[in-house]
Amino acid sequence: MYIKDHCIGDPSGRLCPLLHIRAVCGLKFNIIKAARSFVSVVLAVSIITPSFSLRAQAISARAYALIDQSSGRVISCSNENKRMPMASTTKIMTALIAVESGRLDETVTVPSEALMVEGTSMGLKADEKLTLRELVYGLMLESGNDAANTIAFTLGGSNDKFAQMMNDRAQKLGLSNTHFCNPSGLDNPNHYTTALDLARLAADAMKNADFAQIAGTDKIRIPYNGIKNGRSLSNHNRLLDTYGGTIGVKTGFTKKSGRCLVSCAKRGDVELVAVTLNDPDDWKDHAELLDSGFKTLESITLSNNTQTITANVVGGVSDKVATSFDKEATAALKSGEQSRIKSNIELDRFYYAPIKKDQTLGHIVYTLDGVTVARTDIKAAQGIDAQKKPESPLGFFENLWQRITSFFSNLFK
C-alpha cells in the first residue's frame, strides 16, 4: 500500500519512500489502537453489567419472577404479567384458604365424589376420616387432587363455590391477572395466573405459620383409612433437599402448562420467592435466580428518628392516645440503595373510642423510589374508654319516679 505525497526536494509528486514507511506504520498503529479501544469498551461493559442480569438472561422459563418475600418488591422478572396456566401451583391458594379457615384440626369425612378426579392423588378412600390439616399435607406434599376436592367440598360445598372463594381471596390480594376454576389446577382456558401474581400469592401464604410449616415439610406420616401413621407423604419439591435455605413452596405440571415451580428460600434475614412458568429446566433456574438474589440483596437496618407519635381520639375520655412502635425495621436492599430510603407515618386523622391497648392504629412505611420495602406497626400504648353519654331529661325523670315508687313500696311493706 502506498500513500502519495509531495516530498521536500521532489516537486514532481513522486512517491517518497520515507513518507511511505511512516504512513503505512501510522495506519497499522491506528488500527491496533482502535482494536484495543474496542476490547476495552467490551471489558468495561462486562464489568459494569451485573452478573445478575447475565444470569437472568439464561433463564429458560417462558415467564418468571423473583421477589422479596417480606415487601413483595420485584428483584428480577421476565414476562411477569403474561397470563398463563399454572397447574398444581394452584394448590397454594387452596391451602391458604384451608389454613385461614380456622378449621385445621376439624375431622373431615372424604366424600366419594371428591375422588372422581384425574391426575395426582394422595390415595384417599371414600368415607375415610382425616383432619383438614392432614388433607393440606396431602395437598401440598403429594399434590393430591383428591385432597384438593375434599377441601373444596368441605369448605365451599362444591368445587365451583370454592373456586369463587379462591377468586375472592385473589381479589383481596390484588391479583388482578389471576382466575381460578378449580382447586387443583387442572387445565381450563379460564384458569390462569402470572408469574408475578403467583409470586405475591406465595409470599403472602408463607407469612402464615401453618402454611409455612406444611409447605416446608419434606416427609410426614399420617393416618391411612383409620390406621395410625399408615400413609407416608413425601414432598415433590426437590429444592428442599438440594438448595440450602429452601423453606417451601409448590411444584406443578400439565402438558399444557409445562413445568411450573414456586420456591421460597431464606438466608439470614433475606427471604426470596421465585416463580417459573413453563420451564423445562426449573430446578437449575431456581437455584440460579435465588443465588443471584442473595448475592444482590443484603438485610439492612432502617432507623426512624421519630421520638413520639400520638393519635387523635373522638368520643373518648381523652382526646389523644399515646402509641408504641419499633424505631427500626429491616429491608432487603441492593448496594447503595439505603441512602434513597424515605419513611412516612400513616395514621388516620382520628379514631373513635373505645380504643384497646395494643390496637393497631397505623404504620411507619419505608419506601425506595415509591416502592414499599418495609413497614412497622403503630399501636395504642394504652386503652381509651368511650365517654359515657349524658343522661337525657326524660331518663332523669324516669329514674326519679322509679326511686319514689320504690321508696313508698318499701315503706308500706
Q: Looking at residue 404, what is its pLDDT?
A: 77
User: Is residue 269 packed enough to be buried (19+ CB in 10 Å), middle (13-18) or exposed (0-12)?
Assistant: middle
* pLDDT surpassing 60 at residue 122: yes
* pLDDT surpassing 90 at residue 324: yes
Residues 326 and 211 in one domain: no
Residue 397 belongs to some domain of the structure: no
Residue that finishes a domain, picked among 261, 296, 331: 296
Q: Looking at residue 5, what is its pLDDT?
A: 32
Residues 13 and 118 in one domain: no
User: What cell numbers appear for 273 in the block?
Assistant: 420467592
Count CA within 13 A, CB hemisphere, residue 151: 36
Query: Structural domain of residue 31, as residue ranges?
Result: 1-48
Task: Say which range, 2-11, 177-186, 235-244, 300-309, has the weakest mean pLDDT.
Answer: 2-11
Residue 410 belongs to some domain of the structure: no
Rounded Cα gap, residues 121 and 143, in angstroms: 7
Residues 285 and 308 in one domain: no
* pLDDT surpassing 50 at residue 258: yes
Which CATH number covers residue 345? Answer: 2.60.410.10
* pLDDT surpassing 80 at residue 167: yes
Spatial CB neighbours of 259, under 8 Å, sequence gap ≥ 6: 251, 252, 253, 276, 278, 279, 280, 282
Indicate the helix (H) or strand (E) that contains 152: helix 145-156
Residue that finishes a domain, picked among 296, 314, 345: 296
Q: Looking at residue 412, what is its pLDDT?
A: 64
Residues 262 and 318 in one domain: no
- Reported confidence tier of residue 140, pLDDT bands at 50, 70, 90: very high
Q: Looking at residue 1, what is its pLDDT?
A: 36
* pLDDT surpassing 60 at residue 352: yes
Q: Looking at residue 23, what is its pLDDT?
A: 38
- How high is the mean pLDDT of the chain? 86
Residues 171 and 225 in one domain: yes
Comparing CA positions, the residue from 239, 285, 284 lying closest to residue 266 is: 239
Residues 148 and 220 in one domain: yes
* pLDDT surpassing 90 at residue 105: yes
Please report the sign of the dihedral spanned by the C-alpha atoms of residue 181, residue 187, residue 190, residue 195: positive
Residue 121 belongs to some domain of the structure: yes
Residues 92 and 239 in one domain: yes
CA triplet 224, 230, 232: central angle to 5 degrees? 100
Residue 32 belongs to some domain of the structure: yes
Query: Structurally, how many domains does the chain consist of?
Result: 3
Task: Say which range, 46-50, 294-298, 353-357, has the weakest mean pLDDT.
Answer: 46-50
Catalytic residue among 70, 71, 88, 263: 88
Summarize the confidence of residues 365-371 as an average pLDDT: 92
Task: Say which range, 214-223, 258-267, 404-413, has the weakest mean pLDDT.
Answer: 404-413
Q: Looking at residue 402, what is its pLDDT?
A: 72
3-state secondary structure of 161: helix
pLDDT in tens, 201-253: 999 999 999 999 999 999 999 999 999 999 999 999 999 999 999 999 999 99
Residue 54 belongs to some domain of the structure: no
Task: Say which range, 43-47, 234-238, 379-383, has the weakest mean pLDDT.
Answer: 43-47
- Residue 78 designated active-site: no
Catalytic residue among 70, 71, 143, 292: 143
- Residue 388 designated active-site: no
- Residue 256 designated active-site: no
Residues 92 and 10 in one domain: no
Q: Looking at residue 41, what is its pLDDT?
A: 38
Summarize the confidence of residues 98-108 as an average pLDDT: 97
Residues 101 and 140 in one domain: yes
Percent of the chain with pLDDT over 90: 77
Residues 150 and 16 in one domain: no
Residues 90 and 132 in one domain: yes
Q: Looking at residue 413, what is its pLDDT?
A: 55
Catalytic residue among 71, 76, 91, 257: 91
Q: Give the residue with greater pLDDT, 223 vs 388.
A: 223
Rounded Cα gap, residues 364 and 374, in angstroms: 8
Residue 403 belongs to some domain of the structure: no
Residue 287 belongs to some domain of the structure: yes
Residue that finishes a domain, picked among 296, 312, 343: 296
* pLDDT surpassing 60 at residue 4: no
Range 338-352 burial, b when 16+ CB lie within 10 A, else e: eeebebeeebeeebe
* pLDDT surpassing 60 at residue 24: no
24: preceding bond cis by omega (within 30 degrees): no
Residues 198 and 91 in one domain: yes
DSSP 2: -
Q: Looking at residue 327, what is its pLDDT?
A: 87
- Contact between 355 and 338 under an 8 Å Cβ cutoff? The reply is no
pTM of the prediction? 0.77
* pLDDT surpassing 80 at residue 91: yes
Indicate the helix (H) or strand (E) that contains 295: helix 282-296
Q: Give the residue with greater pLDDT, 262 vs 399.
A: 262
* pLDDT surpassing 60 at residue 15: no
Q: Looking at residue 19, what is its pLDDT?
A: 35
Residue 404 belongs to some domain of the structure: no
Strands (E), 235-333: 246-254, 258-267, 270-277, 298-303, 310-314, 320-325, 328-333
* pLDDT surpassing 50 at residue 16: no
